[in-house]
């Protein structure tokens, strides 16, 4: 009984408030329908680009491009979304024309295009945390299906050209960098070689390579000094009458001949040792010319001594021979002193020369490494030029879409209908909650906390019945007006109704029985 009573209350509310539900519902639903079908259609064209790996094994030839495909796609995307590039594409295809309305500003066109373009990477999970990018999709959303496909293909062409130009430029920059490094190292090597050669020329008498020769030469000169000293002693003794003059002179000539022969052998041996250094530029030609003159002079002196020894008897002045021996001794002592100085300087020269040689060897090692890197960079550049390295290939070009992607009118209308119903029901509940009128015996009992003895039913007058019918007729007229206005607006501003009717008939026709169609 109580349940039927509650249902009666709900029915009473419906009869009393139905207009407050129907009118907002119809108005909102009509507006939603008009808006849903007034929204422009948007067509989405999509192209797929595949990332092909390097064709030649990387163990045999490697590229110099180290950036990952994901990183390069992001860089290309930023370049693609550059303001000048987007404005150029929009101008080429006359996108976002206002058609009688105010012209869109360049900033608005750039914003529209950035919202319409989407680059989505396609990845394959190689492990739980790592994903390998094998390609990406390029989509463009526009109100014209043909232009959407054309712009998408234009974007794909721009991406391919940018990727190729970027890879070629980076490979060329790498080769140029190592080429410049190699050229700088060649200049440094040449400078160090010239420095070493100049240092050896300036210190040729103290080079560590000739240290053993100079020590032997010093020993020989010391022996010559001792021999000349003995000759001087004998000459002095002969001059004082101690011994035969002829024997003393013969002994002096023998000692002189031995001294000249020793000098001659020393000069010839030194020339033979310095000849290889002359070819490398470590010894000057002037030094070799001096040695040749000394060798020739020694030969003449040897020939002269032998000629004197062949004579029968000696007529030379003893004082002259003594002075000659003393001058030879002074010369040998001078040469011995020079050799001692050069030998003492050899350790410091060896240290400085070793430092230069170390620098030269380090530069040569760096030069060899740089040359190997330049070879790898040139191979990588050749791979890029021949398109044998990693590259982008169009797997699927954009085609003209047949159906619009946006808006989803059915979904919008369904959501608008649900919202309109919620609005009407909410308005009815709000009015009932704010209305404190007493209409039934239960309302009176709840208000007074007293049970009524009897309930007198409400008697409807004729005037009230006429007013109620008039209100219903007015509501129906309003609904019809709204519906007709919505249909007229859709027919005039969106699509003619006969087209909608034809499309609906094409969808319904397969569902009807064959008998009805015949």
| DSSP-derived secondary structure for 314-333 | ----HHHHHHHHHHHHHHHH
- Is 348 in the same domain as 362? yes
To the nearest 10°, the Cα dihedral for 151, 157, 159, 163?
-170
Structural domain includes residue 195: no
Structural domain includes residue 188: no
Helix and strand element counts for the chain (H, E): 14, 4
Cβ-count burial of 387 within 10 angstroms (0-12 exposed, 13-18 middle, 19+ buried)? middle
Q: How many residues does the structure list for the chain?
A: 518
- Is 237 in the same domain as 143? no
* Structure letter (DSSP) for residue 446: H
Contact 363, 189 (CB under 8 A): yes
Structural domains counted in the chain:
3
Angle in degrees, CA 134, 156, 118, rounded to 5: 75
Structural domain includes residue 413: yes
Q: Give the position of tokens 């620098």.
A: 359
- Is 480 in the same domain as 427? yes
Structural domain includes residue 186: no
Q: Among 237-241, 349-353, 360-364, name the one with the lowest average pLDDT.
A: 237-241
Q: What is the pLDDT of residue 495?
A: 62
- Is 28 in the same domain as 56? no
Structural domain includes residue 442: yes
Contact 65, 167 (CB under 8 A): yes
* Structure letter (DSSP) for residue 494: I
* Structure letter (DSSP) for residue 96: S
- Is 465 in the same domain as 509? yes
- Is 160 in the same domain as 101? yes
* Structure letter (DSSP) for residue 405: -
Structural domain includes residue 360: yes
- Is 245 in the same domain as 358? yes
Most confident of 97-106, 150-159, 448-457: 150-159
Cβ-count burial of 346 within 10 angstroms (0-12 exposed, 13-18 middle, 19+ buried)? buried
- Is 366 in the same domain as 218? yes
- Which of 396, 422, 457 marks a domain boundary? 396
Q: What residues have CB less than 8 Å from 303, skipping those under 6 apart?
A: none
CA-based torsion, 411, 417, 421, 426: positive or negative = positive
- Is 107 in the same domain as 240? no
Q: In this prediction, what percent of the chain has a pLDDT beyond 70?
A: 74
Structural domain includes residue 418: yes
C-alpha–C-alpha distance, residues 162 and 170, integer Å: 12
- Is 220 in the same domain as 241? yes
C-alpha–C-alpha distance, residues 38 and 412, integer Å: 12
Structural domain includes residue 189: no
Residue 63 pLDDT more than 60? yes
Band of pLDDT at residue 314, cut at 50, 70 and 90:
very low
C-alpha–C-alpha distance, residues 215 and 231, integer Å: 24
- Which of 343, 371, 396 marks a domain boundary? 396
- Does the predicted TM-score (pTM) go above 0.75? no
- Is 209 in the same domain as 336? yes
Q: Among 9-13, 132-136, 273-277, name the one with the lowest average pLDDT.
A: 9-13
CATH number, domain at 88? Answer: 3.30.70.1130
**Strand, helix or coil for residue 62:** coil
pLDDT tens digit string along 389-406? 777 888 888 888 888 777
- Is 254 in the same domain as 117? no
C-alpha–C-alpha distance, residues 260 and 233, integer Å: 19
391 versus 361: the higher-pLDDT residue is 361
Task: Find the domain containing 363 and state its range.
Answer: 203-379
Contact 118, 398 (CB under 8 A): no
C-alpha–C-alpha distance, residues 135 and 509, integer Å: 43
């Amino acid at each position: 009984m109580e349940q039927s009573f509650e249902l009666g209350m709900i029915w009473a509310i419906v009869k009393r408030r139905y207009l407050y539900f129907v009118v907002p519902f119809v108005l909102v639903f009509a507006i939603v329908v008009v808006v849903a079908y007034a929204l422009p259609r948007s067509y989405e064209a999509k192209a797929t680009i595949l990332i092909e790996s390097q064709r030649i094994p990387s163990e045999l030839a490697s590229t110099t491009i180290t950036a990952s495909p994901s990183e390069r796609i992001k860089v290309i995307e930023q370049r693609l979304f550059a303001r000048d590039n987007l404005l150029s594409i929009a101008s080429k295809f006359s996108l976002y024309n206002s058609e009688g309305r105010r012209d869109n500003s360049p900033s608005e066109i750039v914003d529209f295009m950035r919202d319409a373009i989407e680059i989505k990477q396609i990845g394959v999970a190689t492990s739980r945390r790592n994903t390998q990018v094998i390609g990406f999709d390029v989509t463009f959303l526009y109100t014209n299906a043909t232009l959407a496909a054309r712009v998408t293909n234009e974007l794909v062409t721009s991406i391919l050209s940018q990727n190729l130009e970027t890879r070629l430029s980076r490979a060329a920059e790498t080769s140029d960098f190592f080429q410049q490094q190699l050229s700088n190292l060649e200049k440094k090597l040449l400078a160090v070689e010239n420095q070493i050669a100049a240092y050896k020329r300036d210190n040729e008498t103290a080079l560590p390579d000739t240290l053993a020769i100079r020590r032997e030469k010093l020993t020989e000169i010391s022996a010559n000094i001792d021999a000349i000293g003995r000759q001087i002693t004998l000459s002095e003794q002969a001059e004082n009458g101690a011994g035969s003059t002829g024997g003393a002179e013969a002994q002096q000539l023998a000692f002189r001949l031995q001294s000249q022969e020793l000098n001659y052998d020393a000069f010839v041996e030194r020339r033979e040792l310095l000849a290889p250094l002359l070819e490398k530029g470590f010894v000057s030609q002037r030094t070799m010319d001096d040695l040749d003159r000394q060798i020739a002079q020694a030969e003449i002196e040897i020939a002269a001594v032998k000629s004197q020894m062949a004579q029968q008897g000696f007529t030379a002045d003893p004082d002259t021979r003594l002075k000659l021996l003393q001058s030879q001794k002074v010369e040998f002592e001078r040469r011995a002193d020079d050799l001692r100085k050069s030998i003492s300087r050899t350790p410091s020269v060896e240290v400085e020369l070793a430092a230069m040689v170390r620098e030269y060897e380090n530069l040569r090692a760096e030069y060899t490494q740089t040359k190997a890197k330049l070879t790898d960079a040139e191979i990588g550049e050749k791979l890029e030029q021949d398109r044998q390295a990693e590259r982008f290939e169009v797997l699927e070009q954009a085609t003209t879409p047949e159906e619009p992607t946006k808006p989803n009118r059915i979904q919008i209308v369904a959501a608008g209908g649900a919202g309109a119903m919620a609005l009407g029901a909410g308005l009815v509940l709000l009015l009932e909650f704010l209305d404190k009128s007493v209409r039934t015996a239960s309302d009176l009992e709840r208000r007074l906390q007293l049970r009524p003895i009897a309930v007198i039913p409400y008697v409807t007058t004729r005037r009230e019945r006429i007013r109620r019918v008039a209100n219903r007729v007015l509501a129906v007229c309003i609904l019809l007006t709204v519906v007709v206005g919505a249909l007229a607006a859709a027919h005039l501003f969106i699509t003619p109704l006969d087209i909608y009717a034809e499309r609906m008939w094409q969808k319904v026709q397969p569902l009807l029985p064959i008998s009805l169609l015949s």
